[in-house]
Structure 1
Amino acid sequence: MSQPDCLHISLFGAPQVMRGSSLVEGFISNKVRALFCYLVMNPHPHTRETLAGLLWGDMPENEARANLRKALSNLRKLFPEWFHITRQTVTFDTQSPYTLDVAEFQRLYERLQGQLSPEERPKILQELVSLSRGEFLAGFYVAGASTFNEWAFGWRERFSEQAFQARYALAEHYMAHRLYSQAVTHLRHILSMDPWREDVHRDLMLAYARMGEQKAALKQYAVCKQVLSRELDVLPAPETVLLYERIKARGERPSGNIPRQPVPCFGREKELQIITQRLTSANCRWLTVTGLGGVGKTRLAIDAAQQLSPFFFDGVFFVSLASVHTLQAVVSTIAETLGMLFDEQGDRIEQLVGYLQQRETLLVLDNCEHLTTITPVLEHLLEHTHNLKVLLTSRQRLHSAWEHVLPLQGVQVDSPQDSADVPSPAVHLFRYHARRVRPGFSPSAEEMGTIRQICRTLGGLPLGIELAAAWVGSMTCSQILRAILETPAFLDSTLPARKSQYHGLRAILRYTWIQLTPQEQRCFARLAVFGDSFTAEAAQAIAGLSPTLLGRFVEHGLLHTTILDAPEFPPRYTLHQLWLQFATDRLAEMPAERQDGYHAHRRYYLALLQHATAPFPVPDFNNAYIAWKRALEMAPYEEFEACTRTIVASLVSHNRYDELLEILQSALQRMASQRNPDTILQARWLRLMGEAYFRLGQLPKSLEYHHQALTVLGMDMPASLPRQALELGREILRQVWHRLRMPRPDAQRKHRYLEGARSYERLGQILFFESVPAVTLLYTSLRGMNLAEKAPPSDVLSRLYGNMILGSGLVPLHTMARFYRRLALEVAQRLDSPSALSWVLEISSIYTCGIGDWAQAEQEAWQAIALANQERDTRRRNECLVMPAHAAHARGDFRRSAELWQQIYLTALQSGDIQAQRWGLSGQAENFLPLGRFEESAAYLQATLELPLKVADIGTDITCYGLLALTRYQQEKFSEARRVADIGLRLVAESSPTAFSSVNGYTCLALVYLLLWKNAPQDAALADAARQSTSALWAFSRIFTLGRPAALLAAGLLAWLSGKQTKAMQLWRRGIASARALQMPYLEASLYNHMAHHLPEGHPEKDTAMAKSQQIFARLQVPAVIRETV
């Protein structure tokens, strides 16, 4: 209870003092109240001079002292026991009883910085939040006391930040403990005080989503976006948009694929608890469950996955790897399970990293003991993701520093409570399986003892218990025990002595086998040819299993059934790994059955693969792959070639290029042993090797194999530039002849022509990004096009016509470019190929962007994007979004452009496409610069340049160095601006302009050198660099029309600095007209701005130019800081 002589002082919120339970009133002024607060907060002696200056510093000294005396008299009267007041000093007496909320807050906050137990920390956080009921001295302002107000402001800021930290930490505590409603309360309170804290908006979105309130989560994103735009004029950060996309996607797809199990789990409560504790803790991201075959690792992992599902926002995914034998197949299988589509180009593992990077996902990887190369991949995934965790099953650990291990033993056989009513887990499991075959099974006390002995003999292994219980329908428990003990333990010699519990299991396997008829044994042994799960139809076609026999095998535990959630897929059947090993050994004893079984398996699955129209189930593909492997090893070459054609076609249609490499390498090696190989097929396989490497982002290897394919066809590309120029002339003549008289398709040689055309088409695309001379690009396009025109119309012909659009534009021959654009569209539309049409539209959009036809470029880009979305081609979508982003930038809509570039970056981040990530980051920086956001621009450009890219992207590099140089100039870091510009200028000198998108790189380099030279006119090196960069920009503008206004701006500035003012004015006027014609208002304003700054006072055009410049900049909402230099 409060004591009458105790002061209770509250300085959070409006200041308030209670003596006991009574409110203290009687302060004669706010300054007396302020003096009280100051002395309480600083309980040590203060001189009168200091206090007078604190509150009456704007008065003469005598008046200040007089006011202080009145104030002290008022305090002495109100609080006689709590102040020591002398003629020199004033002190608050801490020995008199009092409480002070801010002092208690400080004490608790200091405790928070120390070592606290998990139980103490949330209690202290809660106390801190309760104490900080409002701001320090909220609403308390003292007129004429600036020193006091500054002191109060300092404490207010400090306490506000500490209170924020405490409340935020408490919210995070509630989030971590799944107390989302409490977390929401505190997060909303924080946003009511600081609405622009984007990290808090993200947490609130996530809390709503975890509560299942998706609409509230998406609405919170809209609020966040609106606040950031209104208050700070910025877009949400990429991580905020990614979270928004995750929440939106979560409502559109299932959150996992955990298999349904027909049998309940017995006796694994302790193990489930351990798995849950470990995988929900921060220090365990990889847990491997190890144990013998048949011990129940898979079943435990499935139950754990179900139990862990609520803890993983983006889902729990079960991936069976028992039948996966290569690293490439592991990556593809995981991606397919996640529902992830790989992009056309890029490293598959990096794409998987990008997909999982921001997701909170649990991967359950089952049966990994045979995958010796999986460890580095899992380590890479964990190192480069934030919230990915892995639950893995294997017979032995995988020896990774990330790995935690849970050894699994058999289920408990003996327990203190074991009885008929409460049996031990092992006995309960036996009884459950027995009742499946004998529903009325109710063992006597004697039989319960026998069951315990059976379970003990089997070491508690669930598989053995299931198999033993299956014989209850025809044998007594004693007979089952005798069969286990008396049947020779099959293959015991291969097992270590310490695994004696396997002996009983082997005996059960052997006994079950003996009970089958010879025909049933042959059928069961033939099941060993399957490489993965199979359907009833496949079992009958390959192993001769009738539906009745299939049901009997399931009943006796020889097969397990998996019911898929997708109703279009029939049930699938699998053999446990021990049964598979057993069946394989038995089949090896039947050579004729094995040979016939392999042939039937190969015939069935390759036919299935050949006629598949929908996405192929992973197990069926694994079976087809095993069939191909056997054909590689033992089938005649003609049969092997037919198998390879089928599986290659399937892999290409499903974009599984990483697995394609292994198959083609083996196929080409076997083909090389043939005396007269099919050269067209050899060229196709070499080209597909090149295509696979292209899709995987390994462009040098891709070039190598495409050249090999052309060599086999006798269509080699000239090695030197002079030879290419000579051959280009011949190809131009051929093309002119084709335009006069189109060649008739040659049915006999069409495959040869098409293979050559496809290789040249892909070579042109690769070389385009390497900024090779225009002669080389034109040669690849014309050579390929002339070949394709000798065959019937095809998608490659439309693509090559599309390449000619760009090639013609680089010369530049715009009439020719428009001609080939018409041809490309005609062929693509005639073929009714969305992929070909989207490619042509993308290429045409690139061309029209380069000439500044923004409306046409945007229209074609959005049409291509719609087609790419139908094909689920995210890479094509990103490539096409580049054009609307550039169009928005050219028109001065920098915020819209930045938003589009952010979309590109986020999509690329999710797919792992490094090149598109670079485009997205540098594109955003390109828009931050005219908005005056220099720090962000520099950070994004640095991040772009630091991204590891395995392919050449010189255009983006030039853009980055140019933009970064101008950013550093704006930041007055002139030496750094020059250093960066020098790197960019070297790249310009070493390459030819092939991409319109680097226009701002060329522009910024020229401007930086010109502005630096303007400030240092005696620097000859700067003068040379200014002329060189301006000349390069001028050459760029001769190819790409959109560069003309910037080229005229730079050329005008160069002329002015060279003393040619009249020429400079002419160039700037031409630039203004060009910018206006091309609808590029920002450059128009920049040109006016330069005119206004360089014209002398009194010049008739100076004021007009300045007014027009300001008018346009104001309309574009560009900050004034950018106007003075650009």
Structure 2
Amino acid sequence: MLAPSSISFGPYLRQMRKRAGMTQSDLAAAVGYSVSFVCSLEKESRQPDMATVAQALVPALGLQDEPHLAARLVELAAAARGERPPATLSSARRSHITQSDEERPNLPTPPTPLLGRAGEVHALCNRLLGHGGRLMTLLGPPGIGKSRLALEIASRLQSAWRDGALFVALAALDDPAIFPATLARALHLSVEASQSATARLISHLRRKEMLLVLDNFEQIIPAAPLVAELLAACPGLRVLVTSRERLHLRAEQRVRVTPLALEAASALFLLHAQAVRDEFSLAESDRATIAAICRRLDCLPLAIELSAARMDLLSPRHLLARLTEKRLELLNDGPQDLPPHQRTLAAAIQRSYCLLSAAQQRLWRGLAVFAASFDAGAVAALALDPAGLELLAARSLIQPERQGETESYRMLETLRAYANEQLSAAGEENSLRSRHAAWLLGLARQADGALRSGSRPEWLARLDNEMDNLRGALGWAVQSEPETALALAGTLQEFWYSRGYNDEGREWLRRALAAAPGASPARVRALNALAQLLGQQSDYAAAQRHLEQAQALAQSLDDQAGLGEALRLAAWAANDRHDQATAVALFHEALAIFQALGDRLHAADVLTSLAHFGVLTPGADKRQIQRWLEESLLVFRALGDLPGRIFALHQQGLLAVAGEAYADAARHYDEALGLARALGQKPEIAWGLALLGEAYWLMADLERADVCWQEAYQQFIALGSREAVAITQHHLGQVARRRGRWEQAAALYAESLAVHQAAGDREMTARCLAGLGALALARGERAEASRLLGAAKTIFDTLPPFLAPADAVEWAGMLDNIK
């Protein structure tokens, strides 16, 4: 089988037909076939026959005197069929090339293979051969591999045109006026005193069929009209340009060159690492490190080549650490056979930076404070002029992105490192980072006010998109503006919670609280936020300490809103300690504060929480519970608050379970789960699955119960909620027991029991013991069953009834079996 070619048969046939000045009808008549036959060959919907190509198409296209072109056409026909071309044609092609080498321009020979670009090379070769246009510009930032890609395309295509291809390096040229003379010299043309260089070029190229590669055009963009003039006057000319900025010509096909895929980037790193250390081999432990190195370098080929050159002195792990500390300094010693502007990454970037005006330089280095994407509004908020963004994007110094209807931009990390150095050198870093943090704090406050409304999904998505910017601002502010860090970390409370960012939220809140110890409402907010996340991860003692601090500080500051939130969270903390009486009392205190403040939303939250405890309390007034839920739902619907509706639906489900209306409970839970999934509300998704699974269990639908609990188990693990994980293990043990999978059930019950005993959760401890006792009964181990069920009964007898009616019936049956 032949290796795949960058040019395929159909586009090449079309090129040869157009070269001969023939239409599809002309060629069909010349070979005695239908127009549809020729069309199907060019579209590659029909495989070419080599004999037909050699005996009919070659003469019809007038290629008898162009053996290299004829041989190429037959080779591509063979490749399309997965076959080898006839030896006579291959040798004829080699003979022709040998004879004409002196007459043809020479292309530079790259010292290393091109990796990871096969698809691009194939597509771009076909575009240049096709009828899409005769001018193509490869665009991209410094170091992305535009020159190498262009050279590969030229080397693959040079035999497609009678006069081959010429590579013209323009990196050293900075005066557009001397571009015509430079190009004439590259073509070995002499220019008479009485003739302009442009006229001489047109006179020469008008007779040529060739590809002209103009490399590094960005410094002479004003010379672009000459390219258009040459194309208009020379019909056999095609031009491939590499530039960081487009040429602004009507005929221009623009192709944005992207970084390498991670796999190709890692392979490139390995290739260059082995060039400087031949014994270097890729150990399994190094794969992730090398991938991290490539990601750190934005998968830019030049940066990867320069960093891999350090492998004679550094291990991959040490190289990654050095790149984290001093990225650009490490990439400052490239090979001497590279052009000067490519020997260091900083030099490659500096060339582009120097081409900017002073105002453009200020804008570009200011953008270094954005660790993620940014739009014109964000740039304006930093007192920078967003009018220059399109020009920076045109020069490949920032990359445009579209997020919905918003036009945004991003800067590659390697470029950002250089821009940040310039920002620091200009003495502008602190002022811009302060404005950046202030902008994000304002954004977080806007989001905080909207997260309990109908626009919640959009704001959560917005904060998700700004995550890297938030991290960057928090990291700087903790060191330089602690009060800003404290306000930002606390304002993000609902975002940390709803997205399940428990670990990261805890870390930023702890750092901000340590850095800004002064008394303030922002500190109350941060203490409350940290306590909520600690409770989510079952760290109840630490949560309680922070809530006590928040209550004391809020009272001293007369911060009623902060105090109400601290009491509300303290009520849930009391519930986590299984002290329901204290929880209910604290909820009533919080309710009084929120009602006095006129805070309908948080008052409705508390009413829903009171309804929750009422459902679980034997003998509670069910009509009062229903009134609380109806009042809460009115507020939640009026304000468009979906999280409140989710929680209220959960309580309606619990009421239905208490009334043995399990299908109704499943309907409420399913509705709540749908809302939670739509919001991406991770804790509510997990609990919604757990509750829906319980409804299915009570309906004896083991299959759907198992599906819900399996997913809930994974969700709780991701959230780091130890006790919730243990609850789900108990539930999965129930399913395993009903299915007769006794060993699996025993393991699940035992793991769950250990966690609940350590946490002091008597209800779940009793349920786990009961499950183990039921297993012993099923195995015929009556003595063991009697011991376990007796231990469970001792605990059950000290607690108010809490089992769902169907579970209570099963429990009573177990006790009857050991009498």
> What TM-score, normalized to structure 1?
0.40
Picking from 704, 714, 717, the partner of 1:909 is 714
Call closer, same or farther: CA 1:542–1:957 in 2, change over 3 Å.
Answer: same
8 Å CA contact 2:532–2:543 kept in 1: the answer is yes
Aligned to 1:572: 409
Equivalent runs, 1:177-192 vs 2, <5 Å = none
SS of structure 2 residue aligned to 1:814: coil
8 Å CA contact 2:332–2:343 kept in 1: the answer is no
Aligned to 1:203: none
| 1:665 has 2:413 as partner | no
1:831-858 deviations in whole A, cap 9, x for unaligned?
4333223323323533553464546645
8 Å CA contact 2:564–2:593 kept in 1: the answer is yes
| 1:755 has 2:565 as partner | yes
Call closer, same or farther: CA 1:796–1:499 in 2, change over 3 Å.
Answer: farther
Aligned to 1:830: 635
**Range 758-767 or range 440-449, more displaced:** 440-449
Structure 2: segments with no counterpart, 5+ residues: 1-109, 120-140, 190-212, 227-241, 243-326, 448-454
Aligned to 1:939: 744
Call closer, same or farther: CA 1:472–1:901 in 2, change over 3 Å.
Answer: same
SS of structure 1 residue aligned to 2:462: coil
8 Å CA contact 2:766–2:793 kept in 1: the answer is no
1:29-75 deviations in whole A, cap 9, x for unaligned?
xxxxxxxxxxxxxxxxxxxxxxxxxxxxxxxxxxxxxxxxxxxxxxx
Call closer, same or farther: CA 1:782–1:898 in 2, change over 3 Å.
Answer: farther
SS of structure 1 residue aligned to 2:516: helix
8 Å CA contact 2:498–2:682 kept in 1: the answer is no
1:366-419 deviations in whole A, cap 9, x for unaligned?
xxxxxxxxxxxxxxxxxxxxxxxxxxxxxxxxxxxxxxxxxxx98798999699
Q: 1:686: Cα distance to partner?
A: 0.6
Aligned to 1:469: 217
Picking from 947, 959, 962, the partner of 2:767 is 959
Q: 1:942: Cα distance to partner?
A: 1.9
Q: 1:449: Cα distance to partner?
A: 11
Larger radius of gyration: 1
Q: 1:751: Cα distance to partner?
A: 1.2
What is the one-letter code of the residue matched to 2:423?
Answer: L
SS of structure 2 residue aligned to 1:570: strand
Aligned to 2:598: 792
Aligned to 2:549: 708
Aligned to 2:398: 560
SS of structure 1 residue aligned to 2:407: coil
Equivalent runs, 1:154-165 vs 2, <5 Å = none
CA distance in 1, matches of 2:470, 2:696: 49
8 Å CA contact 1:921–1:943 kept in 2: the answer is yes
8 Å CA contact 2:770–2:792 kept in 1: the answer is no
Q: 1:949: Cα distance to partner?
A: 6.6
Call closer, same or farther: CA 1:640–1:861 in 2, change over 3 Å.
Answer: closer
8 Å CA contact 1:683–1:712 kept in 2: the answer is yes
What is the one-letter code of the residue matched to 2:618?
Answer: P
SS of structure 2 residue aligned to 1:471: helix
CA distance in 2, matches of 1:587, 1:694: 42
Aligned to 2:363: 523
8 Å CA contact 1:760–1:783 kept in 2: the answer is no
Call closer, same or farther: CA 1:900–1:514 in 2, change over 3 Å.
Answer: closer
CA distance in 1, matches of 2:801, 2:364: 75
8 Å CA contact 1:845–1:858 kept in 2: the answer is yes
8 Å CA contact 2:490–2:522 kept in 1: the answer is no
CA distance in 2, matches of 1:921, 1:641: 38
Picking from 827, 838, 845, the partner of 2:653 is 845
8 Å CA contact 2:766–2:792 kept in 1: the answer is no
8 Å CA contact 2:486–2:522 kept in 1: the answer is no
What is the one-letter code of the residue matched to 2:550?
Answer: A
Equivalent runs, 1:554-953 vs 2, <5 Å = 554-557=393-396, 559-564=397-402, 566-575=403-412, 577=414, 579-591=415-427, 593-594=428-429, 596-611=431-446, 614=458, 615-616=461-462, 620-635=466-481, 637=483, 656-672=501-517, 674=518, 677-678=519-520, 680-696=521-537, 698-713=539-554, 750-767=560-577, 772=578, 774-785=580-591, 787-805=593-611, 807-808=613-614, 812-815=618-621, 818-832=623-637, 833-846=641-654, 848-850=656-658, 852=660, 854=662, 857-858=665-666, 860-873=668-681, 875-877=683-685, 879-880=687-688, 882=690, 885-886=693-694, 889-890=697-698, 893-894=699-700, 896-909=701-714, 912=717, 922-923=730-731, 925-927=733-735, 929=737, 933-934=739-740, 936-943=741-748, 945-946=750-751, 952=759
CA distance in 2, matches of 1:504, 1:855: 69
What is the one-letter code of the residue matched to 2:569?
Answer: S
CA distance in 2, matches of 1:960, 1:432: 75
CA distance in 2, matches of 1:568, 1:683: 38
1:1023-1074 deviations in whole A, cap 9, x for unaligned?
xx776655555555755573665566567667xx5xxxxxxxxxxxxxxxxx
Identity %: 13
CA distance in 1, matches of 2:153, 2:814: 89
| 1:533 has 2:399 as partner | no
CA distance in 2, matches of 1:889, 1:646: 40
What is the one-letter code of the residue matched to 1:690?
Answer: A
What is the one-letter code of the residue matched to 1:616?
Answer: R
Q: 1:954: Cα distance to partner?
A: 5.8
Q: 1:763: Cα distance to partner?
A: 0.9
Aligned to 1:447: 186
Aligned to 1:1012: none
CA distance in 1, matches of 2:373, 2:749: 45
1:682-732 deviations in whole A, cap 9, x for unaligned?
2221110111223445444333323332343469xxxxxxxxxxxxxxxxx
SS of structure 1 residue aligned to 2:374: coil
Q: 1:570: Cα distance to partner?
A: 0.8
SS of structure 1 residue aligned to 2:116: helix
SS of structure 2 residue aligned to 1:682: helix
| 1:271 has 2:84 as partner | no
Aligned to 1:167: none
CA distance in 2, matches of 1:641, 1:886: 40
> What TM-score, normalized to structure 2?
0.53
1:984-1028 deviations in whole A, cap 9, x for unaligned?
xxxxxxxxxxxxxxxxxxxxxxxx31xxxxxxxxxxxx6xx7766
What is the one-letter code of the residue matched to 1:447?
Answer: A
Structure 1: segments with no counterpart, 5+ residues: 1-265, 276-292, 301-408, 451-464, 481-490, 716-746, 979-1007, 1010-1021, 1058-1126
Call closer, same or farther: CA 1:944–1:267 in 2, change over 3 Å.
Answer: farther
CA distance in 1, matches of 2:586, 2:470: 37
Q: 1:754: Cα distance to partner?
A: 1.4
1:94-141 deviations in whole A, cap 9, x for unaligned?
xxxxxxxxxxxxxxxxxxxxxxxxxxxxxxxxxxxxxxxxxxxxxxxx
Picking from 763, 774, 780, the partner of 1:972 is 780
SS of structure 1 residue aligned to 2:372: coil
CA distance in 2, matches of 1:875, 1:594: 39
CA distance in 2, matches of 1:532, 1:466: 33
